[in-house]
C-alpha cells in the first residue's frame, strides 16, 4: 500500500476539549494555505512524561491550542483515565522525583521550589519558597538530609529538624585575613599603638569565630576564599556531604567580538540591535579547571589535568606546522606565535551547567567515588576519570580518541550500585555501545554490534540496563534491556518508532513515548519486562488524521563511492505506474548530524506535508540520510571531516541517479531544497554540481563556515587559523562563480544561529559576479526556526513557484 489512512489512535482516555483554533480542514486535495497554517489543527505532541512519587499516576504536558502555554495532565495507567489539571490541582501535583536509597522519601522541584514526601504516610513538605529556581535535588548517603542547589550554591535540609543551611560559602575574592602589610603598613603599625590595638581586636574576634564554628555545627560554615581570577561554572556535592567539586573558568577570559542581529520590526519602532554568538576562530571557549573542596576540613585542592594520557600531545601538529610556516612566510610572526601548541591541552567538562546540563560529574550513591568527564577543546579526546581523594588527583579510567571529532552524543556515564564500577557509552568500535569498568580493573563491553545504543537507564535495583537501540534496522528504534553484567539484548517494546521512556519508581512499568510518520509522540505504558502496551493518549486531530497521507517508503540507495547503502524515504503516487519522464525533488534534512529516515514522527512535519503536495502536483520526492547523518555509526558521521558538503553531495547525486533508474525521473527535471544544513547542501549542490539540479531553494543556510560558531564548526573543520583550506573547501560562497541554475535564498532576519548575513553576503557575491536567476526573501520577524504561519506560507509558496517554473515543465527537445 502506497497510502495509509490514519484513523485516530484507540484511546483509553478522553482529553478535555481543545481551545478554539482556526478552522482548517482538508477536503480532497492539499493546498498551501492549509499545510502551512498554524499547526494546532494537526494535533499536539505529548511532552515530558514522568511518574508520580507513588508510581500510581503519570504526568505529561500538552501545548495548549492558540499559544505557547503547556497544560499539565495526570493519567491513571491502570484505567487510562486522564484529567487536565487546573491551577489549584497543579499546585498539588508532583514533579519528576528522586528517591533516597531505602525508598522512604522522595523529593522533587515544583514551580522552582523543593518538596519532600514521606512515602509511608504520604506527608508532603515544602522545603523552600523563594523566587530563585532550585535544582538537582538528591538525598544524602545516610538518608538524613535532602541536598539541593540554588544556582551554583548547595544547601542541605535536615529531614528531622527541618533546618536548611548552605553546605559551603563560596567567595571569589582574596581572603582579607590573609593580607599581609607591606613595608609602609609595617611602618604604620610600628608607629601607632592604636592601629596595633585595632588589628589585635579584629584578630581576636576572628579567632573566637573559628572556635565557635568548631564547637557548634549549627553555625553557618566558614567561607572559602577562592581568589578573584576565576568564576564558577558548575558545582557538584557528594551525597555524603564531605566534598564539593567546582568547575571554574578564567574570570576575564575574552570571548571575542560578537556580531549583531538587527531587529527592524519592533514594538518601539526603532531598529534594535542584539548581540549574537561569537564566530568560530575568534577565541576558543574558555578553558576550565577543577577545584575540590574538603568541606569537613575546610581545605581546597586543584585537580590538575597534566597527567591525563595524551594531554600533552598535539593532534593537530601537522596542520599547525603548515599554518605557522605560511604565516611566517607572509611576515605575520605575531599570528604564527599565537598558534603555538599549548604545553597542556585545555579542557572543558562535558555537559556542565554552562553547556546546558550537569552530566559531566557523577558521584557514586554513597559519595565514596567521583567520576568526571573531560573533553579537549580541540575536540579530539574525551577522558573519564575518577578522583584519588588521598592524593587529590585525577585517575584516568577511559580515554576515547577520535582523529576527526568526539561525538556530541553518546557521552552518558555513571556508577553501578556497587559504588565501585563505572558504566559509560563509547563509539570506540565505530558504533555507540555500553561498557562497564571497575576502578581497579579492565573495561567490559556490555553490548556490541553495528547499531547504536543510547538512553541508558540503570534500574533502581541495579539489575538491569534499559536502552534505546536500532538493532533491527537503522530506521527502527525500540526499548531493550540487558542484565547489568552483560548478556543478550531483550526487546521490550515493538513500536519501531520509540522516542523516549521512563521507568516507574518500583521498576515494574515503563512509560513510553512513541510516534509514527504522521503521528506526533504519544504516551503508553507497559510492563518493564515486555508485553502488550496500554495506549494512554490520542492528541492528533480528525482534520489531519482523516487525510490519506503518503506512507513514506524506506528505500536503500546504493552508493557509487564505496559508502554502502544510503537510506532514504521515498514519496510517490499511489499505485505508481511506469512513466517515461517525471519531475522529482530532493528534500535535504538539516543539522547534518540528524536522522530523518526513521519510523518515528519527523521534526519536518510541514516539509513532509509539502512533499505530499509535490506528489499531488506530479513530482516524486526523496529524503536521504546522507553521510554525516545520525544513526549509522562513527564512520558515517565523520565522513565529512575537513570537507563538508562533498560526501553528502555524492550521496545526493546517487539519490538522483536512483530516481532516474527506478522511477522514470527525467534527470533534467530534478529540484532540491532544505533548511539550515539542508540549505547549505542545496547551495553546495547548485554551486558544485552545476547542471545537475534544475533549481534549488536554500533556507537559512550557512554559506560561509567562518561565520558560524565554535562548538559545531571547529569539531568538523578545526579552527580556521589552523585549517583554512577546510573552510574554503566547505563553504558555498567560495563556489559562487559556478552559479548557472536558479537559486532561491530565504532567511529570517533575526536568526541568531545562522546569521542572515550569510545569505546576504552570498547574494552580494552573485551581484558582483553578474549572475542571473537568483533571488532572496528575508523575513523580519523570524529566527532560525520559523514560528509564524504567514512566514511559513510565504516561504513555501515561493519554493513551490520556483519548482513549478523551473523544474516541472519538460525541457525543450525531450
> pLDDT digit string (tens) for 592-650?
999 999 999 999 999 999 999 999 999 999 999 999 999 999 999 999 999 999 999 99
Cell numbers of 331, please?
Answer: 611576515
8 Å CB contact between 356 and 410: no
Averaged confidence pLDDT in the chain: 93
Q: What is the mean pLDDT of residues 372-400?
A: 97
- Residue 5 pLDDT > 60, yes or no? no
Phi, psi values for residue 301, rounded to 5°: -135, 120
Query: How many Å apart are CA 172 and CA 165, to the nearest integer?
Result: 20
pLDDT of residue 2: 34
8 Å CB contact between 482 and 467: yes
Q: What is the mean pLDDT of residues 37-46?
A: 98
Look up residue 43 and give its DSSP letter. B
- Residue 769 pLDDT > 60, yes or no? yes
pLDDT of residue 487: 94
Q: What is the mean pLDDT of residues 227-248?
A: 96
pLDDT of residue 220: 85
Q: Which range has the worst mean pLDDT, 103-107, 184-188, 647-651? A: 184-188
In this predicted model, which residue has the larger pLDDT, 280 or 23? 280
Q: Residue 670's closest CA among 598, 730, 608, 742?
A: 742
8 Å CB contact between 372 and 360: yes
pLDDT of residue 23: 62
pLDDT tens digit string along 424-467?
A: 999 999 999 999 999 999 999 999 999 999 999 999 999 999 99
759 forms bridges with which residues in the sheet?
none
pLDDT tens digit string along 697-741?
A: 999 999 999 999 999 999 999 999 999 999 999 999 999 999 999
Integer CA distances (angstroms), 662 to 174, 513, 607, in order: 73, 36, 23
pLDDT of residue 185: 87
Cell numbers of 723, please?
Answer: 585549517
Query: E strand or H helix at 84, and its extent?
Result: strand 82-84
Cell numbers of 683, please?
Answer: 547551495
Look up residue 550 and give its DSSP letter. B
Q: What is the mean pLDDT of residues 756-783?
A: 98
- Residue 265 pLDDT > 60, yes or no? yes
421 forms bridges with which residues in the sheet?
438
8 Å CB contact between 223 and 169: yes
Res. 536 pLDDT band, cuts 50 70 90: very high
pLDDT of residue 157: 97
Is residue 464 left, alpha or beta, with left meaning phi > 0 and alpha meaning psi from -120 to 50? beta
pLDDT of residue 814: 60
DSSP string for 83-113: EEPPHHHHHH---SEEE-TTSSEEEEEETTE
The percentage of residues in the chain with a pLDDT greater than 70, rounded to a whole number, is 95
Amino acid at each position: 500500500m502506497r497510502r495509509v489512512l490514519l484513523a485516530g489512535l484507540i484511546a483509553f482516555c478522553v482529553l478535555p476539549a481543545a481551545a478554539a483554533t482556526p478552522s482548517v480542514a482538508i477536503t480532497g486535495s492539499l493546498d498551501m494555505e492549509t499545510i502551512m497554517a498554524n499547526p494546532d489543527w494537526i494535533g499536539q505532541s505529548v511532552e515530558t512524561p514522568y511518574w508520580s512519587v507513588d508510581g500510581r499516576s503519570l504526568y505529561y504536558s500538552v501545548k495548549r491550542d492558540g499559544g505557547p502555554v503547556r497544560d499539565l495532565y495526570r493519567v491513571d495507567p491502570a484505567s487510562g483515565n486522564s484529567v487536565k489539571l487546573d491551577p489549584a490541582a497543579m499546585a498539588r501535583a508532583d514533579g519528576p522525583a528522586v528517591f533516597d536509597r531505602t525508598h522512604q522519601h522522595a523529593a522533587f522541584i515544583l514551580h522552582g521550589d523543593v518538596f519532600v514526601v514521606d512515602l509511608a504516610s504520604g506527608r508532603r513538605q515544602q522545603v523552600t519558597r523563594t523566587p530563585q529556581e532550585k535544582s538537582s535535588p538528591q538525598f544524602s548517603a545516610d538518608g538524613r538530609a535532602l541536598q539541593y542547589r540554588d544556582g551554583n550554591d548547595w544547601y542541605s535540609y535536615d529531614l528531622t529538624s527541618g533546618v536548611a543551611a548552605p553546605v559551603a560559602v563560596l567567595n571569589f575574592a582574596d581572603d582579607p585575613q590573609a593580607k599581609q602589610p607591606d613595608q609602609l603598613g609595617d611602618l604604620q603599625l610600628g608607629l601607632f599603638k592604636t592601629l596595633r590595638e585595632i588589628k589585635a581586636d579584629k584578630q581576636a574576634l576572628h579567632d573566637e569565630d573559628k572556635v565557635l564554628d568548631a564547637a557548634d555545627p549549627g553555625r553557618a560554615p566558614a567561607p572559602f576564599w577562592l581568589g578573584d581570577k576565576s568564576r564558577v561554572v558548575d558545582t557538584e556535592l557528594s551525597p555524603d556531604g564531605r566534598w564539593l567539586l567546582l568547575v571554574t573558568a578564567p574570570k576575564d577570559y575574552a570571548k571575542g567580538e560578537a556580531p549583531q542581529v538587527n531587529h527592524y520590526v519592533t514594538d518601539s519602532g526603532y531598529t534594535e540591535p542584539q548581540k549574537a554568538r561569537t564566530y568560530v576562530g575568534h577565541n576558543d571557549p574558555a578553558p576550565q579547571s577543577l577545584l575540590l573542596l574538603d568541606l569537613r576540613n575546610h581545605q581546597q585542592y586543584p585537580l590538575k589535568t597534566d597527567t591525563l594520557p595524551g594531554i600533552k600531545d598535539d593532534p593537530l601538529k601537522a596542520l599547525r606546522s603548515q599554518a605557522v610556516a605560511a604565516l611566517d612566510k607572509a611576515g605575520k610572526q605575531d599570528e604564527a606565535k599565537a598558534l603555538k601548541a599549548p604545553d597542556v591541552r585545555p579542557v572543558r567538562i562535558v555537559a556542565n551547567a554552562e553547556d546546558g546540563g550537569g552530566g559531566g560529574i557523577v558521584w557514586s550513591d554513597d559519595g565514596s567515588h567521583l567520576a568526571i568527564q573531560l573533553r579537549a577543546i580541540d575536540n579530539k579526546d574525551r577522558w573519564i576519570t575518577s578522583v584519588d581523594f588521598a592524593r587529590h588527583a585525577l585517575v584516568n579510567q577511559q580515554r576515547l580518541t577520535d582523529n576527526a571529532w568526539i561525538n556530541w552524543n553518546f557521552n552518558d556515564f555513571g556508577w553501578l550500585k556497587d559504588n565501585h564500577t563505572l558504566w559509560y557509552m563509547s563509539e570506540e568500535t565505530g558504533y555507540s555501545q555500553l561498557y562497564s569498568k571497575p576502578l581497579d580493573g579492565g573495561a567490559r563491553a556490555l553490548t556490541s554490534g553495528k547499531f547504536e545504543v543510547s538512553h541508558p537507564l540503570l534500574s533502581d535495583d541495579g539489575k538491569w540496563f534499559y536502552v534505546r537501540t536500532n538493532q533491527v534496522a537503522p530506521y527502527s528504534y525500540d526499548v531493550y534491556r540487558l542484565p547489568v553484567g552483560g548478556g543478550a539484548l531483550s526487546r521490550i517494546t515493538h513500536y519501531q518508532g520509540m522516542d523516549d521512556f521512563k521507568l516507574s519508581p518500583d521498576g515494574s512499568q515503563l512509560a513510553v513515548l512513541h510516534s509514527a510518520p504522521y503521528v506526533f509522540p504519544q504516551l503508553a505504558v507497559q510492563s518493564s519486562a515486555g508485553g502488550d502496551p496500554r495506549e494512554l493518549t490520542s492528541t492528533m486531530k480528525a482534520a489531519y488524521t482523516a487525510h490519506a497521507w503518503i506512507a513514506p517508503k524506506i528505500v536503500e540507495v546504493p552508493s557509487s563511492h564505496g559508502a554502502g547503502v544510503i537510506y532514504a524515504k521515498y514519496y510517490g503516487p499511489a499505485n505508481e505506474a511506469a512513466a517515461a519522464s517525471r519531475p522529482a525533488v530532493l528534500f535535504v534534512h538539516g543539522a547534518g548530524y540528524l536522522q530523518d529516515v526513521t519510523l518515528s514522527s519527523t521534526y519536518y512535519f510541514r516539509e513532509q506535508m509539502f512533499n505530499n503536495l509535490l506528489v499531488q502536483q506530479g513530482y516524486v520526492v526523496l529524503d536521504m540520510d546522507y553521510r554525516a547523518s545520525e544513526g549509522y555509526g562513527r564512520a558515517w558521521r565523520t565522513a565529512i571531516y575537513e570537507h563538508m558538503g562533498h560526501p553528502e553531495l555524492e550521496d545526493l547525486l546517487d539519490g538522483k541517479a536512483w530516481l532516474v533508474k527506478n522511477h522514470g525521473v527525467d534527470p533534467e527535471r530534478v529540484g532540491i531544497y532544505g533548511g539550515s544544513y539542508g540549505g547549505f547542501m542545496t547551495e553546495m549542490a547548485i554551486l558544485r554540481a552545476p547542471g545537475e539540479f534544475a533549481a534549488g531553494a536554500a533556507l537559512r543556510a550557512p554559506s560561509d563556515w567562518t561565520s558560524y560558531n565554535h562548538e559545531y564548526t571547529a569539531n568538523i573543520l578545526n579552527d580556521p587559523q589552523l585549517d583554512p583550506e577546510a573552510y574554503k573547501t566547505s563553504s558555498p560562497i567560495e563556489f559562487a562563480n559556478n552559479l548557472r541554475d536558479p537559486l532561491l535564498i530565504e532567511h529570517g532576519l533575526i536568526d541568531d544561529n545562522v546569521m542572515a548575513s550569510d545569505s546576504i553576503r552570498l547574494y552580494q557575491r552573485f551581484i558582483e559576479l553578474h549572475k542571473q536567476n537568483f533571488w532572496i526573501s528575508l523575513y523580519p520577524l523570524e529566527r532560525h526556526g520559523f514560528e509564524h504561519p504567514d512566514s511559513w506560507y510565504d516561504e513555501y509558496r515561493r519554493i513551490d513557484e520556483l519548482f513549478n517554473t523551473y523544474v516541472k515543465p519538460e525541457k525543450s527537445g525531450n
